Amino acid sequence: MNKKHIIITLFTLAAITFLSCGSSEPEWEDPEAHEKTEQLQKQYVPFIVGTWHYEGIQEKQRVFEQLTFKADGTLRGLRKWQKRQLVTIDGEERYTDWENLSPTNGAFSGKWSLRWERNEKGVGENHLSLYAQYDDEGEIVTYLPYSIIALFDKADATTLRFASWWQDSNGWTNYQRGEGTPSF
């Protein structure tokens, strides 16, 4: 081989190596999940971004929660959560006073994301991932307000619906758009 053939061969090998290193497009572990996540985000993120509130009052529990979802994936929230017990005193059933289960101010912050994933049975589901910590100064809090990957149902101009701690009989929680104030 002469010098010219060696140089051409080296350039050819370099070009093949460079081109085989991959394209500028990333390769996804599950391309279907990536595509469906992008579709889900395109459809719902514009509706989700903003402030939502929920209030649920039951015989032994009442909760108010406000969530603010930002476009950058951050989350701010406020929770007022109370419980009471039914006790028997001198043969008479009575409710105890309401006890706060959230820290004093109930404010929290964290991250959120919306994605499509396969469950353990391989069935695709829409998920809303929420992770947040309470913002209380000086209080020792032994639990997080959110550390869940919840089933996501829908978001529109008035309603955000996903499976959270405060589920109705159908397994969903319906948040209403806008800031609210607790009735208790």
Profile the chain (184 residues) by mean pLDDT over runs of 10 residues. Answer: 53 50 64 95 98 96 97 97 96 96 88 96 96 81 85 97 88 96 94
Instruction: Count CB-CB contacts under 10 A for residue 155.
Output: 24
In angstroms, rounded to a whole number, what is the distance separating the alpha carbons of residues 125 and 100? 34
In angstroms, rounded to a whole number, what is the distance separating the alpha carbons of residues 136 and 78? 11
pLDDT for 16: 52
Which pTM does this prediction carry?
Answer: 0.80
Q: Are 60 and 40 in contact (CB under 8 A)?
A: no
Task: Give the number of C-alpha atoms closer than 13 A to the C-alpha of residue 34, restricted to the C-beta side.
Answer: 7
pLDDT for 19: 47
pLDDT for 22: 52
pLDDT for 50: 98
